[in-house]
Amino acid sequence: MTNYPKIGIRPIIDGRRRGVRESLEDQTMNMARRVAALYEAELRYPDGTPVQVVIADSTIGGVAEAQATATKFRLEGVGLTLSVTPCWCYGTETIDMDRTMPHAIWGFNGSERPGAVYLAAALAGHAQLGIPAFGIYGEHVQDADDETIPDEVRSRLLDYATAGLAVAQMRGRSYLAMGGVSMGIAGSVVKDDFWSKYLGMRNEYIDMSEFDRRVRENIFDPEEFDKAYAWIRENFTQGEDFNPDALKMSDKHEDWWIYCTKMTLIARDLMVGNPRLAELGFGEEAGGHGAIAAGFQGQRQWTDGMPNGDVMETILNTQFDWNGPRPAYVMATENDALNGASMLFNHLLTNQAQLFSDVRTFWSPEAVERVTGYKLEGRASGGIIDLRNSGSTTLDGTFAATQDGEHVIKNWWDLTEADTQAMLDSTTFHPANVEYFRGGGFSTHFRSAGEVPVTMCRINLVDGLGPVLQIAEGWTVELPDEVATTIEVRTDRAWPTTWFVPNLTGEGAFTSVYEVMNQWGANHGAIAYGHIGAKLITLASMLRIPVNMHNVPDEQVFRPKAWSAFGTRDLEGADFRACDAYGPLYG
């Protein structure tokens, strides 16, 4: 996708001519230009290109100019708007009336002209009309000729635009369900109402037999297959087969590698299409499903007889392959569409690869010491949560890439050969546990580096309530090898392992590590590099999804100004009331 949504900037001005408006033209338009320069310098689309910004053709002093700007923005593909002003303007005559996209207003904090007065009046108009908007206002008074953007304003401008671009990039795209419900997992029951009304997306579906058909009929690029297979066999280290001797199928390993490579090509082509297929005579298949995210059911109807999807999921969720660095795809294990949506949120807010993990086990300090003889220390002293998916996750989740001596996930365009090699060197691919995966295949194993800041989130659907979002910021930790191995053996040594410790606040679900695990709403979570909880809260408010659990500091929370009308003491309750009152963004 190269036709990305743009940010529209609306310079708002006092409409009174014969002196007032004329004196403000340059100051107002320069505000818009400064923000445009900020966005173009700091924000990128998933393909690495700078975001595109459209500024109104003129300042907006009344309804005619507001309408002309709205027309321009529609033609230019604007997906979110920011209004800027240093002065008083005419409130409801100048605001943006489009209910289906995010809006924000930056009112300049200056004493020469009352920009804050317009900000308050316009936000009141938004609230009265039922069109929520974000308010941005500097903490300190600036002089009229001060062209700096204060740090607190800069932060709000970037957070708003990042979340708004995520909203706009989802609109009109697809979630592709490859298969149906896996082992009764509720998240893989794809609910069209959620995707269409809250995210503005459509749902596409295929049966998993489509993989087998495309393999049998060679519906993939044979030249790319040769390249991919050679790269995989050269770079993927096959690890120990942990199956009992009676269940080992060594004679089938090479066939599995071949099949898993083909599955990877096919899944990508199903998501986004491949013009090469048309050249090969497969015009229908060349189009793909326009999917920005997908999920593969796998278990059990597929994996009882065919190689599993772990290699496919791992490669697609990783930011490099045989063609070099590239944006990660979003591919959910077990077709858990709700975790796929959670991964998608994280991905669009960071432009980085995401971990799909089981929220598997809480290990108390007492349990770890009883089983291994080891006493947890440091961050882990209150216990750890085992985030181990059943066979796959992004190689970026090794956190083997480094920056300034720290383990990180980088944006794909910053990856070096040393980074990708470090990820590969940290990973082994083991013949799958055939008691679980009777058709064989391989599982991805690594241990995530420790002391890495991460954010785990999860969307859950609750009957009578709708979607809710959970967020837990925290850190990865490492365990001594013998301790980690002892714990891994109790589950499956062939699966990727991440030890997670959430930040505790002493309140609500974050009184202990155990309580975080106890309050988590499902068996899966989406894990992003960095502490991005505040951005997730902003995004959720745009979509009208309440957040029922988070440990983000209050001063970082940024929601539309109208949320304060639903209560200022119980912010969690106010969020629920506001989301219920406004309803889904596209509902």
Can you say which residues are annotated as belonging to the binding site for Mn(2+)? 334, 358, 524
- Least Cα distance to 84 among 135, 21, 146 occurs for 135
Catalytic residue among 334, 336, 488, 575: 334
Question: What Rg do the C-alpha atoms of the chain give, in angstroms?
Answer: 25
Q: How far is CA 458 from the centre of its chain?
A: 11
Buried b (16+ CB within 10 A) or exposed e, 346-375: bbbbbbbbbbbbbbbebbebeebeeebebe
CB of 6 closer than 8 Å to CB of 53: yes
> Do residues 45 and 412 touch, judged by C-beta distance below 8 A?
no
With 0-12 CB in 10 A as exposed, 13-18 as middle and 19+ as buried, what is 239?
A: middle
- Asked whether 321 and 142 are in contact (CB, 8 A), the reply is no
358 is catalytic: yes
User: If you ran DSSP here, which 8-state letter would residue 110 be given?
Assistant: B
Please count the residues of the chain: 587
Under DSSP, is residue 52 helix (H, G, I), strand (E, B) or coil? coil
CA dihedral 181, 176, 545, 462 (to 10 degrees): -10
- Cα 244 from chain centroid (whole Å): 39
Q: Pairing relation of β-strands 498-502 and 466-477?
A: antiparallel
- Per 3-state DSSP, the chain is made up of helix, strand and coil in percentages (nearest 5) of 40, 20, 40
Residues 6+ apart with CB under 8 A from 553: none
Tokens of 365: 């300090």
Task: Walk across the sheet containing 331-333 and list its strands.
Answer: 202-206, 174-178, 291-296, 331-333
- Dist. CA 132–CA 202, nearest whole Å: 24
Cα-based distances in Å from 151 to 57, 155, 156, 350: 28, 6, 9, 20
For residues 556 and 82, what is the distance between their CA atoms, to the nearest angstrom?
20
* Closest by Cα among 384, 392, 338, 409 to 517: 384
Whole-angstrom distance, CA of residue 472 vs CA of residue 552: 8
Residue of 241, 313, 358, 488 with catalytic role: 358
* Known active-site residue 147: no
SS (H, E, C) 217-265: CCCCCHHHHHHHHHHHHHHCCECCCCCCHHHCCHHHHHHHHHHHHHHHH
Taking the alpha carbons at both ends of the chain, their separation in whole angstroms is 26
**Residues facing 444 on adjacent strands:** 429
Residue positions forming the annotated binding site: 334, 358, 524
**Cα 346 from Cα 320, distance rounded (Å):** 18
The set of catalytic residues is 334, 358
